[in-house]
């Protein structure tokens, strides 16, 4: 019985042996093919960026798409606070300490000069060659260029815009304002009749956003901080512009006192909840207002900022650029990711979903984008004419002077003359110590 079983097993083994050998033979070919899809070595790059105010899932899907197209590279995105000043502080501390904990850095338009001068960024001339640069808006390209080299690729662009409640203006028979005086008049009339509605909200907290706002009033009154590459703060146009900002709150009372502590997101929430008639903000807010369930869906209009009359309004140039840390251990993979995020198709996807506005000019003619966001066509001109803050590696030192001075004007602690005199004295010294600023 035992013998019979043994011979049975032996026969079965001998009859399956050829199959087994064939299988081993084939497997030896199949295995290397399979491992080509899943590379032996996986590299993780870390991408640091500010909080995404728009559609987070869409942003994550874009990163996953990169990973799918680049087997072997994983991206860990690490979120920093939304405030530009806090993000700047994080980078200064970590890059001073030569940290290699992150590879791709998202930089505000005002930092690239400083970071490039400090030697914290890899040169990206090969990633962003001259013929590519022509396809992008001029302002951000200037911002990423330092002493003839390119140190980042413009990712998305910002410029200050006026948001208004279309429905309310129509109901009371007004057109959107072209001058600041009109804005005040309309805001006063409508808020007198609509309870619980603020007239005009903007960013007045002591931070970089306040500088962006203040520049727009000064420029739209024919002033500005710089003239011919030199600081010229104490000008009558600037005095009147800052006095107007103060008066919006304390004299005309169309802006609530809370604007003196408000950031982009504070004002976006107020306007988005239907509690303000006008708002100054960057373009990202529009997509959020048009989302399903938004209290102001279909009720929001967007236009260029007003002026003091006579000249055109002015927008501050903002936006974010992608660079690669000098201390990255995976520069090739990091550059690949920068190329991907700044490509035509990804910029388009980000515009459609998250609301970030493309730095590539051709996208403003893209039929799909224009259909989804009809006002985008008009934005091309706003971005072309948006004005840079002084382009100098010492800008962050300069803004440390500007922020408290501007804040004390809108809070009524200093007169515009006092603040501008102090800016002239202290910011002037900073610029003289470095290179002359090239901004306006």
Contact between 84 and ligand GLC per CB under 6 A: yes
Sign of CA dihedral 203, 206, 207, 212: positive
Four-point Cα dihedral 193, 194, 197, 200, nearest 10: -40
**Closer residue to ligand GLC in complex, CB, 212/334:** 212
SS3 for 173? Answer: coil
Contact between 383 and ligand GLC per CB under 6 A: no
Only one of the segments 34-42, 204-212, 335-343, 348-356 lies at the binding site for ligand GLC (rule: CB under 6 A); that segment is: 204-212
Only one of the segments 66-74, 124-132, 307-315, 316-324 lies at the binding site for ligand GLC (rule: CB under 6 A); that segment is: 316-324
Q: Which two tokens stand for residue 49?
A: 């960026």
**Closer residue to ligand GLC in complex, CB, 109/239:** 109
- Rounded to the nearest whole angstrom, what is the least distance from the CB of residue 185 to ligand GLC in the complex? 28
Only one of the segments 29-37, 102-110, 287-295, 323-331 lies at the binding site for ligand GLC (rule: CB under 6 A); that segment is: 102-110
Q: By CB under 6 A, name the one of 103, 158, 366, 405 that touches ligand GLC.
A: 158
Residue 154 and residue 136 in contact, taking contact as beta carbons nearer than 8 Å? yes
Only one of the segments 105-113, 231-239, 335-343, 362-370 lies at the binding site for ligand GLC (rule: CB under 6 A); that segment is: 105-113
Only one of the segments 51-59, 206-214, 227-235, 415-423 lies at the binding site for ligand GLC (rule: CB under 6 A); that segment is: 206-214
Contact between 204 and ligand GLC per CB under 6 A: no
Residue 418 and residue 136 in contact, taking contact as beta carbons nearer than 8 Å? no
Only one of the segments 18-26, 248-256, 315-323, 401-409 lies at the binding site for ligand GLC (rule: CB under 6 A); that segment is: 315-323
E-strand stretches of 160-312: 161-165, 198-201, 226-227, 230-231, 276-281, 300-303
Q: By CB under 6 A, name the one of 282, 337, 356, 383 that touches ligand GLC.
A: 282
Contact between 416 and ligand GLC per CB under 6 A: no
Residue 88 and residue 387 in contact, taking contact as beta carbons nearer than 8 Å? no
- Rounded to the nearest whole angstrom, what is the least distance from the CB of residue 402 to ligand GLC in the complex? 12
Please provide the DSSP assignment of 293-321 as one string.
T-TTTT-EEEEPPPBSSSS----BEEEEE
**Closer residue to ligand GLC in complex, CB, 157/430:** 157
DSSP type of residue 365: G
- Rounded to the nearest whole angstrom, what is the least distance from the CB of residue 362 to ligand GLC in the complex? 21
- Tracing tokens 């899943």 back to the chain, one arrives at 38
Please provide the DSSP assignment of 49-118 as one string.
EEPP-S-HHHHHHHHHHHHHHSTTEEEEEEEEPS-HHHHHHHHHHHHHTT--S-SEEEEETTTHHHHHHH
Only one of the segments 103-111, 221-229, 231-239, 401-409 lies at the binding site for ligand GLC (rule: CB under 6 A); that segment is: 103-111
Helix axes 416-433, 395-410, angle to 10 degrees: 170
What Rg value do the Cα atoms of the chain yield, rounded?
A: 28
Contact between 212 and ligand GLC per CB under 6 A: yes
**Closer residue to ligand GLC in complex, CB, 262/376:** 262
- Rounded to the nearest whole angstrom, what is the least distance from the CB of residue 203 to ligand GLC in the complex? 7
* Nearest partner of 163 among 270, 266, 69, 300, judged by Cα: 300
Number of residues that bind ligand GLC (CB under 6 A): 13
Contact between 208 and ligand GLC per CB under 6 A: yes
Q: By CB under 6 A, name the one of 319, 355, 390, 439 that touches ligand GLC.
A: 319
- Rounded to the nearest whole angstrom, what is the least distance from the CB of residue 148 to ligand GLC in the complex? 24
Q: By CB under 6 A, name the one of 103, 108, 333, 405 that touches ligand GLC.
A: 108
Which parts of 49-78 interact with ligand GLC (CB under 6 A)? none
- Rounded to the nearest whole angstrom, what is the least distance from the CB of residue 331 to ligand GLC in the complex? 26
Residue 64 and residue 71 in contact, taking contact as beta carbons nearer than 8 Å? no
Residue 421 and residue 234 in contact, taking contact as beta carbons nearer than 8 Å? yes
Residue 129 burial (10 A CB sphere; 0-12, 13-18, 19+)? exposed
Which parts of 386-405 interact with ligand GLC (CB under 6 A)? none
Distance from chain centroid for Cα 247:
30
**Closer residue to ligand GLC in complex, CB, 83/328:** 83
**Closer residue to ligand GLC in complex, CB, 150/211:** 211
- Rounded to the nearest whole angstrom, what is the least distance from the CB of residue 167 to ligand GLC in the complex? 28
Contact between 318 and ligand GLC per CB under 6 A: yes
Contact between 154 and ligand GLC per CB under 6 A: no
- Tracing tokens 């007198």 back to the chain, one arrives at 192
Distance CA 31, CA 21 (A): 15
Binding residues for ligand GLC, rule: CB under 6 A, are 84, 108-110, 158, 208-209, 212, 264, 282, 318-320
């Amino acid at each position: 019985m035992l013998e019979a079983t043994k011979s049975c097993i032996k026969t079965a083994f001998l009859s399956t042996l050829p199959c087994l050998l064939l299988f081993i033979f084939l497997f030896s070919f199949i295995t290397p093919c399979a491992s080509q899809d899943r590379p032996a070595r996986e590299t993780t790059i870390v991408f640091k960026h500010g909080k995404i105010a728009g559609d987070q899932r869409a942003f994550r899907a874009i990163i996953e798409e990169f990973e799918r197209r680049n087997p072997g590279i994983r991206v860990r995105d690490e979120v920093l606070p939304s405030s530009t000043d806090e993000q700047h502080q994080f980078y200064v501390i970590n890059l001073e300490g030569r940290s290699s904990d992150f590879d791709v850095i998202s930089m505000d338009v005002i930092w690239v000069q400083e970071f490039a001068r400090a030697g914290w960024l890899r040169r990206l001339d090969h990633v962003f060659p001259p013929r590519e640069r022509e396809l992008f808006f001029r302002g951000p390209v200037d911002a990423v260029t330092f002493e003839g080299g390119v140190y980042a690729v413009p990712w998305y662009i910002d410029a200050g815009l006026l948001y208004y409640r279309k429905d309310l203006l129509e109901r009371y028979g007004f057109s959107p304002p072209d001058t600041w005086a009109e804005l005040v008049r309309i805001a006063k009339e409508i808020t007198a009749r609509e309870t619980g509605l603020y007239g005009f909200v903007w960013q007045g907290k002591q931070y970089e956003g306040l500088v962006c706002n203040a520049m727009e009033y000064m420029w739209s009154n024919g002033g500005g901080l710089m003239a011919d590459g030199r600081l010229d703060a104490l000008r009558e146009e600037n005095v009147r512009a800052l006095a107007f900002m103060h008066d919006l709150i304390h004299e005309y009372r169309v802006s609530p006192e809370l604007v003196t502590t408000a950031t982009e997101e504070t004002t976006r929430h107020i306007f988005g909840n239907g509690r303000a008639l006008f708002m100054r903000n960057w373009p990202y807010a529009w997509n959020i207002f048009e989302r399903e369930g938004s209290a102001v869906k279909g009720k929001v209009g967007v236009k260029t900022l007003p002026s003091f009359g006579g000249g055109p309004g002015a927008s501050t140039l903002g936006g974010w650029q992608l660079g690669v840390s000098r201390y990255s251990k995976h520069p090739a993979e990091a550059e690949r990711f920068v190329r991907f995020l700044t490509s035509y198709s990804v910029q388009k996807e980000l515009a459609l979903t998250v609301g970030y506005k493309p730095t590539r000019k051709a996208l403003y003619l893209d039929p799909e984008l224009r259909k989804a966001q009809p006002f985008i066509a008009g934005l091309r001109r706003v971005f072309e004419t948006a004005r840079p803050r002084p382009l100098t590696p010492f800008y962050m030192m300069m803004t440390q002077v500007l922020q408290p001075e501007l804040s004390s004007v809108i809070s009524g602690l200093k007169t515009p003359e006092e603040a501008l005199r102090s800016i002239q004295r202290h910011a002037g010294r900073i610029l003289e110590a470095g290179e002359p600023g090239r901004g306006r």
